[in-house]
């Protein structure tokens, strides 16, 4: 059978997708033992896990590019979950990092605007998960700053204010929320979750993966596997199984 004929006979296969939208903590999530890679492995043959992480970005910039990443023309039914994971850069101290800093009220407004945009293109609030920034381990991050000739440009208490704002937006908008800032600090020495005081370590990635999966599993457990297991394919007439 010619490929063109096979394509005409078979139904177009559209993989559902989970979109991970965020800053460097999302961008790096497909590295070895990353939380995004974990999700992709768990969901293989059920849906695509799409990494849309942008190192250094804040919500001011994210709000502008979201319609280009998930346009209105996309099938909303095909997007089964979206994570929005910003705040680590927004919460940078204004006087020491004005390029990335976003004021607290604007940060909350930007998150709300992104949720409202997704809802406007048919992605309902039950498919959206807001993720707060993780806590900042100041002494470790200060070493990173000093190595670049800079002063400590973030504070954990400030990051916590942004985390609380993120949680409030989730409550107001009716979305789920993963409050990493609070959950990680339940461990007395949360520094093991962080590789440099800001970004996730291997243990931190494992923690985020487990926490996020506990939320996504409920949303995605009913997704069927796409195409039959190889033992179920009729090898004498494979088109009967595959088209």
Annotated catalytic residue, options 126, 172, 196, 234: 196
Q: Active-site residue 75, yes or no?
A: no
Q: Active-site residue 196, yes or no?
A: yes
Residue burial 24-33, b: 16+ Cβ < 10 Å; e: rest: bbbbbbbeee
Cα–Cα distance, 76 to 87 (Å, whole number): 26
- Under 8 Å between Cβ of 58 and 99: no
The residues near 206 (Cβ < 8 Å, ≥ 6 apart) are 33, 35, 38
DSSP structure class, residue 235: T
For residue 241, what is the enclosing H or E element?
Answer: helix 238-242
Annotated catalytic residue, options 24, 192, 201, 206: 24
Annotated catalytic residue, options 91, 191, 195, 199: 199
Active-site residue list: 24, 196, 199
């Amino acid at each position: 059978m010619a490929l063109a004929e096979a394509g005409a006979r078979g139904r177009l296969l559209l993989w559902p997708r989970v979109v991970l939208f965020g800053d460097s903590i999302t961008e790096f999530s497909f590295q070895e033992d990353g939380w995004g890679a974990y999700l992709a492995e768990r969901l293989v043959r059920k849906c695509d896990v799409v990494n849309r992480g942008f190192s250094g970005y804040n919500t001011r910039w994210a709000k502008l590019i979201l319609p280009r990443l998930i346009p209105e023309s996309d099938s909303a039914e095909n997007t089964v979950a979206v994570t929005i994971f910003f705040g680590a850069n927004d919460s940078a101290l204004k006087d020491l990092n004005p390029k990335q800093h976003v004021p607290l009220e604007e940060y909350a407004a930007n998150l709300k605007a992104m949720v409202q945009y997704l809802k406007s293109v048919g992605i309902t609030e039950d498919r959206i998960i807001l993720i707060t920034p993780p806590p900042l381990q100041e002494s470790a991050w200060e070493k990173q700053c000093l190595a670049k000739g800079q002063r400590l440009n973030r504070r954990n208490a400030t990051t916590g204010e942004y985390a609380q704002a993120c949680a409030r937006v989730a409550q107001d908008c009716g979305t789920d929320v993963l409050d990493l800032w609070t959950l990680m600090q339940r461990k007395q020495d949360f520094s093991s979750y962080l590789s440099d005081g800001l970004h996730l370590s291997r243990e931190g990635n494992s923690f985020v993966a487990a926490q996020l999966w506990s939320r996504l599993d409920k949303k995605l457990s009913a997704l069927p596997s796409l195409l039959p297991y190889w033992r179920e394919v009729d090898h004498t007439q494979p088109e009967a199984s595959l088209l």
